[in-house]
Amino acid sequence: MDSQFEDKLPGLWQKEKWKAYRNALPLGQPLLDITTLDGDFAFRLAEQVLGGLPFQLTAKAPFEQARRLQAIYFESRAFERSRGAHPFGLGFPLYVAIDDNGEAVASPVFIWGLTLEPGAKPGDGWPISRRPFQQADYNHFLAAYWRRVFGQDLTSVLADACSEGAPSAAGLVGLCDQLSEALGLEGGGGQIALSPIPTQQQALMSAGAGRIVWAGVLGVFPPHQHLFAGLKPDTDDELSEPSMPMHSFGLLPLGPDQASAAALARQQGHVLAVGPAGTGKTQLAINLLANALSNGQRCLFVSPRVGALRQAQQKLEQLGLGRLSFLLRDVNLDMPLFLEILRSTATAKEAGGEPGGEDFRILVSRLERLKEKLDASYHASRKTAFGADSWAATAGRYLKSIRREGKEALATQLNAQDYRFDEAGYEEMSQAIASCQRLFDKSGTLRSPLNNLHQGIFLRMEKEEALAFVQEKTAAMLERALRLQQWYVNRINTYSDLLSSHYEQYYQGLARRLSNLQDELSEHQGRFGQAYATAGMGRLRFRSVFSGKYREMLDARQQLATGYARLRADFTLNPYFDFAFGDADSGADMAEVKANLAGFQLALQNWYGGLRDAVQEEAQRLSPKTTLPVLNFSAQVAELESGLEGLLTQLNECGLYHLPVHNKMLTIPRQQRLLDELIEQLEITRRSLAEFDDFYEWQHNWLQLAEQARRLVRALIKLRPQDWQAAFDSWFLDNCLRQQYEAVLPPEEGTLDKLEAAYERMSERVVPRLLQEWQPRREEGLRQLRRSSKEAGQWLASKRPPEAFKEWRALFTESAEGLAQLMPAMLVTPHLAGALFVGAAPLFSLVLVDEAAGLLPEEAKMLMGLGNKTAFFGLTTGLAGEAGEPEIYRTLEAMGVQRFGLYQEHQQFPLHLLQRKGFPALQPDGPGQASFEAVDGLYDEQAETNSEEALHIISLLNRIEKTPQRTYPSVGIACFTKGQRDLISAYLLDIKQRRTTGVEMIQQLERNGLAVLQLEELAGLHFDILIISGTFGAVGLQGAMTGHLQRFLEDGGLAQITLLMSRADKQLFLANSIPEDILQRMAQAQDDKAARLLGAYFLAIRAASRSQWAEMYRMKEQLPEWASPPDPYPQPLVFFEEVEQHLRPYLEPGRLKWSRQDALAPLRVQAASEGQASFYLTAGGFLAQTPATDYRWEYEQQQELEKQGYLPLPAWPAEWWRSPEREAKRLASLIIRREMPKAAQEEEE
């Protein structure tokens, strides 16, 4: 068993449908303990069952057991009628244990297939028989349970026991002993000793691993083997297809939504087409099947509802494809007919005739070429361009927006590659525009001094909190900054003063020493004369030996040289200006000394003259590195820098401004300027707080926008268009259209007519051609069948009797390929599909599954593995929001199945309240179409019956009249509870057994399909006349309404009510016991959709029965919006509105007729005068708006409009997008030209 399924086993096993396999205790289930029947019937039944031969026994039962047998019979018959299989059987023996949750398990080990029939007369008992083909099978649920709990895989042991059809008595005893030993069961198997079924309390007393009990139970056991069938082997190989012309045309007409679903089915591997009743799901499935057959592909048509299979078979017969299909409802019953058909196929001779293969291929090729041209043009305008809007609808929105603002402005400001052109992108940008435009109108500018504030102020604080924060921080920062500013000013001035004083002292010292040297030089020259300056030092030293005057002159020269050298050395050590002292022969060269002193004096004076500027320059260069060490000022400069750093650190950490402020200035004056700028910024911020409220709203919104949105708003503010949104729409939609634009030439005029003519020719030949193509393949299938099975070959040659095929499964397992070739369209139920086709390579190209709402996820997964492609078709309520939708649809989507919704109604039902507004009204053909029968019967809550209604419905059958063809119509009786179903069925059975009045009519009605069903069993079935038993009513003499009605409404009632409204084809009868005031309250319910719909439906039937048409319409019109969901593919109304606006100046007033309610052609041009043509406009030359369309439907709609006097006039969306003014002139001129007489048109051309 699949391990994934093993995880889901507890939940599936406990569902009501499969509960008999888990707990066979007859507690509220259609089950019966065989030991409760009269006499020794249980022993005789066990003996016959274990004997392995056909038999028939008649069960005589006490009253209560007879009622239970009757309920089992009706349940079995209802299952057989709706699901196809015969579920009646005997479960024997029972495995009794307690599961992990402490709940009792009383599970049958084997189920013997049996037949239950009522006796010919009331007292004849119930014949129970076993037919030759009925076999036993083991309980697959139980085997999976043992595997999960005990880790023992006993599947092969149990299957071997059934290999001969059923285990014998000895074999069963031995098997039970083997099971007891393997699982450690209590007491072992032992000999067969029948015992009653244990009670719930006795079952809960089971200890350990459980025990085998020799008890048997009769009941309804739905087929379950297919749930455990393995899927096809993992392989990438697909079924090879024949070399037949591959085309996409079917044999049935389709609507646009059906054509879209068909196109999706051809493109995708797995699809799900869903829609309300009457939307043509079965017709679509048959069309896909016929197309697949005509392309040489084998198909499997599956449905859990036999009614759907019969309907499909009838349609195939009507198409002439009946010989290629076979409905296998129950293999045991249908196999003889199936084998007989195979033998007739083997002996039949196909009628000859010209196949005309090449001509047919040419015709198909021509059809495909024409369709490809039309497809290209259709898809170009119908493909989605923006969200769910088609290209044509998007073009209409674009035309509307450019009438207000053009696209050109933003096109020059924005880069389209930075934006997402989808719904999410549009909504994001539109919200940004709306919020920013409103706030911009209040603030009036994008630039504000408050832009410097930190983003967190606007994102994490409320407005009042943010304002108080900014006020507090700016005040504190400004106060500290001003103190620091004063300190900077003071220190710079102090340094300038100290530097000036120092330079003054420096000047005075040098000037005084220079003056002394110059005075000394002048004095000595005056005293000693010219010789003092000119005499050499050697001469003076020589003469000083002999003369005191020269000795004094020498001393004076040496003294001056020493002073000169000292001045030179001191200046060189600390020069504040540029001057280079000469050596002057170490001061001995008086002429050079004098010249140097004069030059130094001049340089000193020049420096002193510029001292003020020098001080200012030094002050501007003030930094710790540029201060004069002699002034000892560097510590104070460092303190200034430290104060500034502390201020900036505090400012950056407090979160006041968005950008941090850093000190990267090297000099103190520049740092002061930074401080000045900071003070100015703080002051400007404080002055701007008057506009803080408006700016907060702007910035709070602005900072949450994406960068693309900010660029867009900046561009709009820069350009200042009158309508921001319209300007954005024009630019945005233009880009959407450009991205999705396909350059496609419009189809030539008359292409649709050519395709229709070619299709008519093909449709006449396709079925004969199809049968001819399949004939050699079917002959090859016969040869494969003969080669694979000797018994089959002997049977086909009439050498073996029909009963030779007792084991029909072997025929499918050994000869599956040949059978699939012989019958390329097999129609089966899911359990037969699992039994016959699972485990081998895929035999089918296409698997079609109708009534998919009735599938289990395991069944859906199994069916997806049987073919290359799978198409599911399912019923929905048609209500908005997928109300009442089956869970299987969401499961299929989770498995990767592509979903498509059908919505166009192809069939109408009497008084169906959910018909779409665009279709004909509910006017009945006459008073006989609906009949409301006020029964006012009492409801029995224990039996869930209403006997008065049941008797009244029996009497209603006498009012059924024959059709003009002298046959009775098909009649269905729909009940709201299974108890009511069984009660009515019991009354009918009693009439037949007693042969009372009306028995012949009932038998004729049954032959024509009379069925009594509970609502959920109606799926897949349609009746000419539907009789509804409302069932619910007052309880007891007090007249209180039963609570079972509310239980029904809450437990899947909505889906069952919508199903009920679509089961009658011609006539309705309603037997009602719900009081009128309660129906009125239900019809006005606001929150309960099921109650609202049921009340309105019953009241509408009553109104129609009384010919109160206005009241009937009111019931429909007062339904909420959820009962009438919008058209998923509406006409591009905005596009037609814009075309009308542009055409209006060129045509006379009143000629353009616009109607939103016109689902086909909302814009029409009335004739200018009598006898002239009228026109209807189409978007791109087609009427449909779905992803794909059927061109036969387009042709038929075109012909219908032409009968009304309207000719088609295509408006090409791509041309209107490029130049609406030019296209309006062209279209207007075309209208005028077509209104001319043909002679005038030819002359003008």
Domains by residue range for the chain, with CATH: 3-228 (no CATH), 256-372+749-901 (3.40.50.300), 384-454+692-740 (no CATH), 478-630 (no CATH), 927-1123 (3.40.50), 1133-1244 (3.40.1350)
Beta strands at 325-328 and 825-828: parallel, antiparallel or unpaired = parallel
- Indicate the pLDDT class of residue 772, thresholds 50, 70 and 90: confident
Beta strands at 55-59 and 1174-1179: parallel, antiparallel or unpaired = unpaired
Residue 570: the pLDDT is 81
Q: Is the pLDDT of residue 356 over 60?
A: no
- The H helix count followed by the E strand count for the chain is 48, 28
The stretch 773-778 carries a mean pLDDT of 88
Residue type, 840: A
Residue 73: the pLDDT is 94
Q: Is the pLDDT of residue 471 over 70?
A: yes
Pair 1176, 1139: CB distance under 8 Å: no
- Read off the pLDDT of residues 452-468 as tens digits, 9 standing for 90 and up: 888 888 888 898 898 89
Residue 923: the pLDDT is 47
Residue 651: the pLDDT is 86
Residue 799: the pLDDT is 61
Residue 236: the pLDDT is 46
Q: How many CA atoms lie within 13 A of 480 on its CB side?
A: 14
Burial status of residue 319 (CB atoms within 10 A of its CB: 0-12, 13-18, 19 or more)? buried
The residue with greater pLDDT, 1218 or 511, is: 1218
Beta strands at 1064-1073 and 299-302: parallel, antiparallel or unpaired = unpaired
Residue 244: the pLDDT is 47
Residue 132: the pLDDT is 82
Q: Is the pLDDT of residue 547 over 80?
A: no
DSSP 937: P
Enclosing H/E stretch for 300 = strand 299-302
Write out the two tokens for 190. 């032992």
Q: Is the C-alpha dihedral spanning 1031, 1035, 1039, 1045 positive or negative?
A: negative
The residue with greater pLDDT, 591 or 128, is: 128
Residue 1241: the pLDDT is 53
Residue 447: the pLDDT is 73
Q: SS3 for 1069?
A: strand
Residue with tokens 């599911």: 872
- Read off the pLDDT of residues 99-132 as tens digits, 9 standing for 90 and up: 888 888 899 999 999 999 999 888 888 999 998 8
- Indicate the pLDDT class of residue 801, thresholds 50, 70 and 90: low
Pairs from 230-235 (Cβ < 8 Å, separation ≥ 24): 230/2, 230/838, 230/839, 231/2, 231/838, 231/861, 231/862, 231/865, 232/838, 232/839, 232/840, 232/841, 232/842, 232/865, 232/866, 233/841, 235/841
- Indicate the pLDDT class of residue 11, thresholds 50, 70 and 90: low
Residue 1178 bridge partners (DSSP): 1210
Question: ω before 132 within 30° of 0 (cis)?
Answer: no
The stretch 142-157 carries a mean pLDDT of 89
How crowded is residue 524: how many other Cβ atoms within 10 Å of its Cβ? 20
**d(Cα 315, Cα 293) in Å, to the nearest integer?**
14
- Read off the pLDDT of residues 820-863 as tens digits, 9 standing for 90 and up: 888 999 999 999 998 888 876 778 999 999 999 999 988 999 99
The stretch 1205-1228 carries a mean pLDDT of 94
Residue 937: the pLDDT is 93
Residues in Cβ contact with 781 at an 8 Å cutoff, skipping those fewer than 6 apart: 817, 818, 819, 820, 821, 822
Q: Is the pLDDT of residue 1150 over 80?
A: yes
**d(Cα 698, Cα 436) in Å, to the nearest integer?**
7
- Among 264, 60, 425, 148, smallest CA distance to 871 is for 264
Residue 802: the pLDDT is 53
Residues in Cβ contact with 900 at an 8 Å cutoff, skipping those fewer than 6 apart: 257, 260, 261, 264, 271, 272, 273, 274
Give the chain's end-to-end CA distance (angstroms, integer).
Answer: 77
Q: Is the pLDDT of residue 928 over 60?
A: no
- Read off the pLDDT of residues 73-97 as tens digits, 9 standing for 90 and up: 999 999 998 888 889 999 999 999 9
**d(Cα 456, Cα 459) in Å, to the nearest integer?**
5
Write out the two tokens for 611. 């001292």
Query: What percent helix, strand, coil does the chain show, rounded to 5?
Result: 55, 10, 30
